[in-house]
């Protein structure tokens, strides 16, 4: 089960480590066109109005501030770079939410991926009758990913993918709870995949028609 006192000590040391780890880039930082700010949580932290350290570029809710020993930037375990996000209160508490507003192009499809590790071990969320763990990745309040302890191998990072059609200003959010341990999130990537249901330009249609006509003429038998 969770040990909040031990986690607070980790947090105290972890804040100092975040600054030192800022030079170690995440693989998501190398992803061309990634619109997620501080995608690998190497970008440092700020102190919010509740006195809690929050990753730069992200906004925390009251649930995140409730247990800073659970919800914070950590240096272990990580998927790449030097930091990752630890998130998850007890299941009877308000769920922590970490969010940011994405600047995107309305009508375009955006493709995303995220690396997640469940710290409780496979199936451990049902230990001693605890309700199942959950971790959701949302855009504008709708789940694009809904993970639990059975869909996520414990104690190892796994990549999950998603997609959505942008509105021009969309809110990305991470939220989750689990009793045995925390969720760990790293390398959040979202890139522009182009217009949804793109219709070929008229010039392209004309060229395609000419090509088909030429093919038809070439196949005609001589009289």
- In order, the DSSP letters of 30-91 are GSTT---TTTTS-S-EEE-TTS-EEETT-EE-HHHHH-TTTSEEESSS-SSTT-EEEE-B-T
For the chain, 223 residues long, give each residue's pLDDT as a single digit of tens. Answer: 465 544 433 333 343 344 444 457 899 999 999 999 999 999 999 999 999 999 999 999 999 999 999 999 999 999 999 999 999 999 899 999 999 999 999 999 999 999 999 987 655 445 544 567 899 999 999 999 999 877 787 789 999 999 999 999 999 999 999 987 899 999 999 999 999 986 545 544 444 554 444 444 444 444 4
Q: Give the CATH number for residue 145.
A: 2.60.120.260
State how many domains the chain has: 1
Q: What is the pLDDT of residue 199?
A: 53
Domain that holds residue 72: 4-197
Token code pair at residue 184: 């760990």
Q: Which has the closest alpha carbon to 36: 186, 145, 196?
A: 186
Ranges of H-type helices in 67-219: 202-219
Question: Is 11 inside a domain boundary?
Answer: yes
For residues 91 and 149, give the distance between their C-alpha atoms in angstroms, rounded to a whole number. Answer: 13
Question: Is 204 inside a domain boundary?
Answer: no
């Amino acid at each position: 089960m969770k040990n909040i006192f031990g986690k607070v000590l980790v947090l105290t040391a972890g804040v100092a480590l975040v600054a030192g780890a800022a030079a170690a880039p995440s693989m998501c930082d190398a992803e061309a066109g990634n619109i997620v700010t501080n995608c690998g949580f190497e970008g440092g932290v700020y102190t919010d109005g509740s006195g809690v350290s929050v990753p730069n570029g992200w906004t925390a809710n009251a649930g995140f501030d409730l247990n800073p020993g659970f919800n914070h930037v950590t240096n272990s375990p990580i998927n790449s770079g030097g930091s990752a996000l630890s998130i998850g209160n007890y299941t009877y508490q308000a769920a922590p939410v970490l969010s940011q507003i994405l600047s995107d192009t309305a009508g375009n499809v955006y493709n995303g991926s995220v690396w997640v590790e469940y710290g409780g071990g496979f199936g451990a969320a049902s230990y001693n009758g605890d309700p199942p763990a959950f971790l959701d990745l949302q855009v504008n309040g709708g789940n694009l990913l809904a993970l639990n302890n059975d869909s996520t191998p414990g104690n190892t990072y796994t990549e999950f993918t998603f997609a959505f059609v942008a509105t021009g200003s969309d809110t990305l959010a991470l939220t989750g709870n689990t009793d045995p341990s925390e969720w760990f999130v790293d390398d959040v990537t979202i890139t522009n995949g182009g217009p949804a249901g793109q219709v070929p330009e008229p010039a392209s249609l004309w060229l395609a028609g000419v090509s088909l006509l030429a093919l038809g003429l070439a196949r005609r038998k001589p009289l």
